[in-house]
């Protein structure tokens, strides 16, 4: 079989959720947007719910509908994009909680779904989503009179613990919310690790659940093993792959493996990338193509049937560094062609 196998350890994911939950006295939610960071919305959310998660966050209402179908009645499903035009039937029928991020959204929600639960997003300096201080001051009394289920903001630099933006946003959030009765939330994974001043009433772990930084104590959740299609001898002076970008300087054994950028293995990784045969690292040679990658296995004692890109020897952040990107992009790019095995 030439299909790579992506193994997803749901027990490890739950362990990460519990570890981040234990770092705070606040209510622990779980962020499962983008198909649970590429690992499968239904199996991930169902396992987290079995472990005790009762509050979830998704990016858009359509994700919320799919999550409600997976979880059934009971858990709270919050939608980061708020109440967009056209979302009303989705929010109503799936009992979603939009995180309102503008005055226009507030008016739309109150007019379309009077009495339906909602949250509020505030912009504390990230300039992405949420009401700025002047907007919030103009509508806060009206909003609070309708009893929002949550008032939240999002940190821009929480993965850098000493970044001055963290304290700046914390002050802004405190100033905008210090005298309200509604539950508050500021911290995702990085914010949890900044300490209790950032925790408030609810924390929202995301990438840390899936084994990504900045949660250095995360248990690895994913492994990716890619089949070897063929191994060939390459003589000195011969080249491998498109563009003749790699030339053999000594007699070499080159494995062609069955995956490529169509499977989320970013082309820019190129010669920086390695895979593993057991504990032995083996380098990528030549360009990463759509469906195949060349790997130099010359030094191995035995010819491998598969090579490991993600697993005990390389985390998602290690692999991300090959392409000068972040673990989030690696996770959410994992291809649909992989055979997925849930452990």
pLDDT band at 2, cuts 50/70/90? confident
Question: Considering the chain, what is the average pLDDT of its residues?
Answer: 96
Query: Per-residue pLDDT tens for 47-79?
Result: 999 999 999 999 999 999 999 999 999 999 999
Alpha-carbon distance values, 277 to 301, 305, 330, 342 (Å)? 10, 9, 21, 22
Query: Is 1's pLDDT higher than 90?
Result: no
pLDDT of residue 146: 94
Q: Do the Cβ atoms of 223 and 304 come closer than 8 Å?
A: no
Per-residue model confidence as pLDDT tens digits over 92-149: 999 999 999 999 999 999 999 999 999 999 999 999 999 999 999 999 999 999 999 9
Domains recognised in the chain with CATH numbers: 10-210 (3.20.20.10), 222-342 (2.40.37.10)
Which tens digit of pLDDT belongs to each residue from 212-221? 999 999 999 9
The pLDDT value given to residue 270: 87
C-alpha 136, offset from chain centre: 29
Residue 147: burial class (beta carbons within 10 Å; 0-12, 13-18, 19+): exposed
Query: Model confidence over 166-214: pLDDT tens digits?
Result: 999 999 999 999 999 999 999 999 999 999 999 999 999 999 999 999 9
CA distance 92 to 295: 52
SS3 at position 296? strand
Whole-number Å distance between alpha carbons of 170 and 157: 11
Please check the confidence at residue 271 and state whether its pLDDT lies above 90: no
Q: Which pLDDT score is estimated for 67?
A: 98
pTM confidence score:
0.94
Q: Is 104 helix (H, G, I), strand (E, B) or coil?
A: helix
- The predicted pLDDT at position 191 comes to 97
Check if the beta carbon of residue 192 is closer than 8 Å to that of residue 20: yes
- H-helix or E-strand spanning residue 10: helix 10-22
Q: How do residues 312-343 score in pLDDT, each as one tens digit?
A: 999 999 999 999 999 999 999 999 999 999 99
Nearest to 275 by CA among 301, 256, 247, 289: 256
Active site residues: 33, 242
Q: What share of the chain is helix, strand, coil (3-state, %, to 5)?
A: 35, 25, 40
């Amino acid at each position: 079989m030439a299909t790579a196998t992506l193994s997803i350890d749901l027990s490890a994911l739950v362990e990460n959720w519990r570890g981040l939950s234990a770092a705070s006295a606040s209510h622990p939610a779980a962020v499962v947007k983008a198909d649970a960071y590429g690992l499968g919305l239904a199996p991930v959310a169902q396992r987290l719910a079995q472990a005790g998660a009762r509050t979830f966050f998704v990016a858009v209402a359509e994700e919320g509908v799919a999550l409600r179908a997976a979880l059934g009645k009971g858990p709270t499903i919050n939608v980061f994009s708020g109440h967009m035009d056209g979302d009303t039937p989705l929010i109503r029928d799936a009992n979603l909680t939009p995180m309102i991020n503008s005055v226009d959204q507030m008016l739309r929600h109150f007019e379309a779904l009077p009495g339906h639960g909602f949250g509020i997003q505030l912009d504390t300096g990230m300039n992405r989503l949420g009401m700025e201080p002047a907007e919030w001051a103009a509508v806060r009394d009206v909003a609070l009179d309708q009893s929002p289920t949550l008032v939240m903001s999002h940190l821009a630099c929480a993965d850098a613990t000493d970044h001055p933006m963290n304290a700046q946003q914390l002050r802004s959030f405190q100033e905008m919310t210090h005298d309200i009765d509604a539950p508050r939330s500021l911290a995702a994974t990085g914010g949890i690790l900044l300490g209790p001043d950032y925790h408030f009433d609810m924390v929202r772990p995301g990438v840390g659940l899936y084994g990504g930084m900045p949660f250095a104590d995360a248990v690895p959740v994913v492994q990716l093993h890619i089949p070897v299609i063929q191994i060939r001898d390459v003589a000195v002076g011969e080249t491998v792959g498109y563009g003749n970008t790699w030339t053999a300087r000594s007699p070499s054994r080159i494995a062609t493996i069955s995956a490529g950028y169509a499977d989320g293995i970013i082309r820019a990784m190129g010669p920086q990338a390695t895979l593993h045969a057991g504990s032995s690292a083996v380098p990528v040679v030549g360009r990463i193509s759509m469906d195949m990658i060349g790997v130099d296995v010359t030094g191995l004692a035995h010819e491998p049937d598969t090579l490991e890109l993600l697993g005990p020897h390389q985390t998602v952040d290690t692999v991300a560094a090959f392409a000068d990107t972040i673990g989030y992009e690696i996770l959410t790019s994992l291809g649909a062609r992989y055979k997925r095995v849930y452990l």
